[in-house]
Chains A and B, each alone.
Chain A
Amino acid sequence: MSLSYPVASDHQLARLLQIGMVLEEVVEARAHKHNESLDDEQDTDIEALLRDAAEESAGHRASLESLVDELEGDPVAYEEIEQLVAARYEADTDTDGVLYDQLANEETAYKFYDDLIEAIEGSDVRFSIDRGRLLDTLREIRDDEAAGVEDVTRLMEARS
């Protein structure tokens, strides 16, 4: 055990980006499962929110995968994460549960990217990919997650 200084190499960076990919895949897979479980409820606002979240996560995943690829890391197959999510998924019984889960997804992703950006900014390692492009990509994704938190919060407030 030691107080480590993260993002000290291409390998560590690729590993953290892989974790980002997994988080995106969890969001995407859970959004699909939520939509299935709410099939009977016919709530167009929530359906649209979940559809947008899944599409956005797929886009983020593609951006992260391209960075992981440049760092010569392995991608994390969506199908594999989808199976893991399905194996442990417990359907939320109501729309509130789904919204809370979606809020947790967006907040978690925001926190992860925020910490990762800070760790990269605090590292003086020269990565084999362009640092500016890396940070621009991560900041763009983090901003999307922040907007996602606002969208879910707005929807929750409108229903309270």
Chain B
Amino acid sequence: MNTQNQYLKAIYLVQQQADGPASTGKVAEALDVSPASANEMIGKLEAAGLADHEKYKGVDLTDEGIRRARDALQTYCIIERFLVEVLEVEEFRAEARQLESVIDETVGDRLDTIIDRDPACPDCFEAEADVCDHLVDDLDIDLEMGSEAAD
């Protein structure tokens, strides 16, 4: 997943949590980058027709931006579930974050052929916990504690 898609995914999730435009500060915080870097990329997304940015209000994804963000989020769900089901990785959230910039949609689609995923993805994604809600159920993850306990 390239940097642009990682931004789209972050804005999409921040917008969901805010139920409105995403503030640049929140987007920067979500991605652990400086507000200046976030501003620069948001400008690029706007130029590409993927987002609308209004000063003092925040950033809104366009329809195309939302489509790309949802694809990126789905790939992320696939990576998380693949790590759990196939490679039996306990710290799958941390590892998914490390891997997402190398695993793009094409590769995600192929990994998807061997996992058992609910077609509701990516609507199942719990933004705050950074995890697919179905995985939370399957693995009995304690979201309050943020711990991961595979069956």
B and A form one assembly: yes
Whether A108 and B33, one on each chain, are in contact in the complex, defined by CB atoms closer than 8 angstroms, is no
Whether B97 and A2, one on each chain, are in contact in the complex, defined by CB atoms closer than 8 angstroms, is yes
Whether A6 and B113, one on each chain, are in contact in the complex, defined by CB atoms closer than 8 angstroms, is no
Interface size on B, residues (CB 8 A): 31
Known: A12-B98, A22-B111. A1 touches B130 (CB 8 A): yes
**Please, which residues of chain B bring their CB within 8 A of the CB of A5?**
101
Instruction: Give the secondary structure class of B's interface.
Output: helix
**Please, which residues of chain B bring their CB within 8 A of the CB of A22?**
86-87, 111, 114
User: Is A51 engaged at the interface, CB distance under 8 Å to the other chain?
Assistant: no
User: Is B10 engaged at the interface, CB distance under 8 Å to the other chain?
Assistant: yes
For residue A77, give the distance in angstroms from its CB to the closest CB of chain B. Answer: 11
**Please, which residues of chain B bring their CB within 8 A of the CB of A116?**
102
Q: Roughly how many angstroms separate A100 CA and B97 CA in the complex, as a whole number?
A: 31
Q: Which chain A residues numbered 129 to 149 have a C-beta less than 8 Å away from chain B?
A: none
Nearest residue, chain B, Cβ from A81: B114
For residue B11, give the distance in angstroms from its CB to the closest CB of chain A. Answer: 11
User: Is B104 engaged at the interface, CB distance under 8 Å to the other chain?
Assistant: yes
Whether B101 and A108, one on each chain, are in contact in the complex, defined by CB atoms closer than 8 angstroms, is no
Whether B97 and A4, one on each chain, are in contact in the complex, defined by CB atoms closer than 8 angstroms, is yes
For residue A140, give the distance in angstroms from its CB to the closest CB of chain B. Answer: 19
For residue B65, give the distance in angstroms from its CB to the closest CB of chain A. Answer: 17
Whether B113 and A26, one on each chain, are in contact in the complex, defined by CB atoms closer than 8 angstroms, is yes
User: Is B103 engaged at the interface, CB distance under 8 Å to the other chain?
Assistant: yes
Whether B113 and A15, one on each chain, are in contact in the complex, defined by CB atoms closer than 8 angstroms, is no
For residue B142, give the distance in angstroms from its CB to the closest CB of chain A. Answer: 19
Known: A1-B10, A1-B31, A15-B87. A26 touches B110 (CB 8 A): yes
Instruction: Give the secondary structure class of A's interface.
Output: helix
For residue A124, give the distance in angstroms from its CB to the closest CB of chain B. Answer: 16
Q: Roughly how many angstroms separate A116 CA and B104 CA in the complex, as a whole number?
A: 11
Q: Roughly how many angstroms separate A116 CA and B20 CA in the complex, as a whole number?
A: 36
**Please, which residues of chain A bring their CB within 8 A of the CB of B13?**
1
User: Is B139 engaged at the interface, CB distance under 8 Å to the other chain?
Assistant: no
For residue A9, give the distance in angstroms from its CB to the closest CB of chain B. Answer: 9
Nearest residue, chain A, Cβ from B86: A22
Q: Which of B's residues lie within 8 Å of A, judged by CB?
A: 3, 6, 9-10, 13, 30-33, 86-87, 89, 95, 97-104, 106-107, 109-111, 113-116, 130
Q: Which of A's residues lie within 8 Å of B, judged by CB?
A: 1-8, 12, 15-16, 18-19, 22-23, 26, 76, 80-81, 84-85, 88, 104-105, 107-108, 111-112, 115-116, 119
